Amino acid sequence: MKFEISEAAAHKAKIPHEVFLTNLIGNHILWFVASLGVARSFWQPVALVPVVSLMTLFYTLWRARRSCQVDEWYVMCHWQLAAARSRIFLGMIMFALLVCFAGWIGYTYFGMMEVAVYAVVGGGSILPVMVTVLILIIMESDALHQTD
C-alpha cells in the first residue's frame, strides 16, 4: 500500500534515524575507537561516550513521546520506531552493566581469576553489545532508506 507523503514529512521522518545512527556509528564506533588511543593519558574522551549516548537515547525517547501530540502520523511512526530500538539498546547496556557487576562481584568476593573475569565480561557483555550495535545499524540504515 502506497501513501502520498509530502517532502517535508519525509525529511522530518529521517531525523530520528539520523540521530540514532549518529549515536551508534559516530559515538559508539568512531569516537570510542579514537578515544581509546589516548585513554592511558586522558580518560575524559572515553567517559564522554556513555554520557553522549545516554543523552541521545533519552532525547530520542522524550521526542518520541512528544511526537504523539505534535507530529503527523508518518513522522510520529518513525520516532516510535527509533524509540523502540533505543529501548532495545538501553536494555543491552543495562545487561552489559549487570554482567560487568557480576564479574566484579566474582573477582572481589568469590576469588575468580582476573583472566576469567575478563573472559566473562568480554564474552557475556561486550560481544553481545557489539552484535546488537551492528544489527541496529543495519536496521536503522534500512529505515532511513525507506523514509523516501
Give the pLDDT score at 74: 94
Select from 54, 50, 34, 53 the least CA-distant residue to 42.
34
Identify whether the C-beta of residue 68 lies closer than 8 Å to the C-beta of residue 89.
Answer: no
In a domain, 2, yes or no: no
Give the pLDDT score at 1: 53
> Whole-model pTM?
0.90
Give the pLDDT score at 4: 86
Between vectors from CA 126 to CA 97 and to CA 33, what angle results, nearest 5°?
110
Burial (Cβ within 10 Å: 0-12, 13-18, ≥19) of residue 115: exposed
**Residue that is written with C-alpha cell 529521517 in the block:** 14
In a domain, 39, yes or no: yes
**What is the span of the domain harbouring residue 119?**
8-146
In a domain, 43, yes or no: yes
Query: 89 CB contacts (<8 Å, ≥6 apart)?
Result: 24, 57, 132, 133, 136
**Residue that is written with C-alpha cell 543495562 in the block:** 94
Query: 63 CB contacts (<8 Å, ≥6 apart)?
Result: 16, 79, 83
Question: What is the dihedral sign for C-alpha 106, 107, 110, 111?
Answer: positive
Query: 48 CB contacts (<8 Å, ≥6 apart)?
Result: 31, 35
Mean pLDDT per 10-residue run, the chain (148 residues)?
A: 84 96 95 90 91 97 96 95 97 96 95 92 92 96 90
Give the pLDDT score at 39: 85
**How far apart (Å, rounded) are the C-alpha atoms in residues 51 and 53?**
5
Number of domains in the chain: 1
In a domain, 3, yes or no: no
